[in-house]
Chain A
Amino acid sequence: MAGRLLLRAAILLVIGAGAGAAHSALRPVKLRPDAPLPGPAAPEIVSTPDGVAAPADAASAEAAMGLEITVSQAAALYDQGVSFVDSRHLAEFEGGHVENAFLMAAEDFLGGGTPVALGLLDPAAPLVVYCGGGDCDASKNLVLLLQQAGFRRAHIMTDGFPAWAAAGHPVATGGPTYGEDGSR
């Protein structure tokens, strides 16, 4: 009897695995959010006199950056006034974050929800998302959701907040304040 149970279980597994394998062949998935998802992605492309297409002025440096950027690239964007999004937990945010950063977690999107900060950001503008650096996947998860929400120019500061702070860039402590004073 136990033999029949195992045989049937094996048959169910084979059916499921077969269907899954076929499905995966039909519809490949990306394994990490390297490339922006298809859609109205690119910054404006203008034609320069010498005939070479180049991204429009201020956005050029940003547009040339990949999905994942370094702390110094992030700092350059910060100086241009690009918004930062902290994807860590509130307690970590309160303990120290990039000055003027918004707080947003992938979990805020759960159940069809919309993070408060989302309404304060411009989907057409670039964005820098970070988490704790190292092994943390929070910023990648969040960028995926932001891309789905129409933010096509989100970057990930791979080394995260610790590297930002260590490099001496502007940091602040305490909870988010943009709800009250609407700064940045």
Chain B
Amino acid sequence: MELFELGIEGIKALLDKKEVTPHEVLDAFFARINAVEGKVSAYVTQTREKAYEMAASAEKAGNSGIKTLSGIPFAIKDNLCTKGIKTTCSSKMLENFIAPYESTVTERLSGAGGVFLGKTNLDEFAMGSSTENSAFFTTKNPWDLQRIPGGSSGGSAAAVAAGECAAALGSDTGGSIRQPAALCGVVGLKPTYGRVSRYGLVAFASSLDQIGPITKTVRDAAMVLNAIAGRDPMDSTSAPLPVPDFTKAAGMDVKGLRVGIPREYFIEGMDPEVEKAVKGAVAQLEAMGAIPVEVSLPHTGYAVAAYYILATSEASSNLARYDGVKYGFRAAGKDLLDTYMQTRAQGFGPEVKRRIMLGTYALSAGYYEAYYGRAQQVRTLIKRDFEEAFRVADIIATPTSPTAAFKIGEKSADPLQMYLSDIFTISINLAGLPGISIPCGFTGTGLPIGLQLIGRHFDEEMLIRAAYAYEQSTEWHKRRPALPSDNGADKGEGPKAL
């Protein structure tokens, strides 16, 4: 197995045994990036120089104490602020923006010894499900370069799947970690709202945004969560709760665990391959001693509508700061108002503008109660649905995405169709719950399918426990996409098991 194919655990083992140095690990990953990045286009910015500096200091510091991720190469979604390195949000608005401060998560990750290879592509300001809304380029799905990697953390998910990093950070407002993880055949964990500090995450929808890991294995996700989770005095919404060692949950069995299957999520018209794979995963869990139970989430049908009112309302306000006055793109207008209008007209892409307009409308005098007010009520009902379901279930299993990766351009003309690709992930953000997507099969054409597991508030341990048990009982996570290398070293035809 090549070094770049390894995840955190694998690389850490080699580093611990001193079979490789952090510098060599970096060499391997940058070689891989050189080989495939031209096809995948995962990165907006690569930070080679900085990475080697970080690796050197990681080498010096060793891997003792909190340096649990010493020398591990990470990719960082480009909506997380990194001091001195561009943070673009894949927007023309911030194309040349260099943050004067570091986000809490990247600070914690580098504090644990993590090394950053670069910043990854996303849908502009994390608004989208395919990276097609990036102002720069569309990232390709490593399993099929004609297809989207999912989004908005598509760059991070593709980078992990393509071996362009050991693990990555993403952000998830309505599925932006889990959906691309599913579509790229990797693990994506969205923690409970409040589990991870949002300080330094460029806000899309503040009450829904949460940062989490995208990794090659469940245990890797637990290791990253260990490093980034916990109260941050800079984020009032971060929870003042103790952080357990999440890796301890990886390895516990699932005997007697009640797995809720929401009636409303297995609907007619669902992609039969996805349905089959997810049901197969539930059967597998049952075979290991878990108990499937049917649960009902009756307000599921209103989730997408409520989400697109609340998320866009918050976005309309969060994105008001991009006015050309202080930083970022500015179009010179003939007066102040014209400068505002030209800056925002030229600096934002169509999807961002669409959402700002939607949100502005929903918050307007005379419409507030009918839209924002109503959507908040729906949000409360959705939360209650889950509370009810968790009376009879310990975790809930659903598909992550209704379909496998679609073709580039297939849905970009129809925003509503695109919004529906988050139909299974959105409710979890509205309820603030933790969710994880893990590989649970492949379509006939070799595209990955994701299983979503949902847990109780702050019970990521249960997710990790069930996800790890399932993962270890399957071979899905061992598959790697066969990417034709740019420098000719083609790895072969079709998916191959290692």
Do chains A and B interact in one complex? no
Q: Which residues of A contact B (CB under 8 A)?
A: none
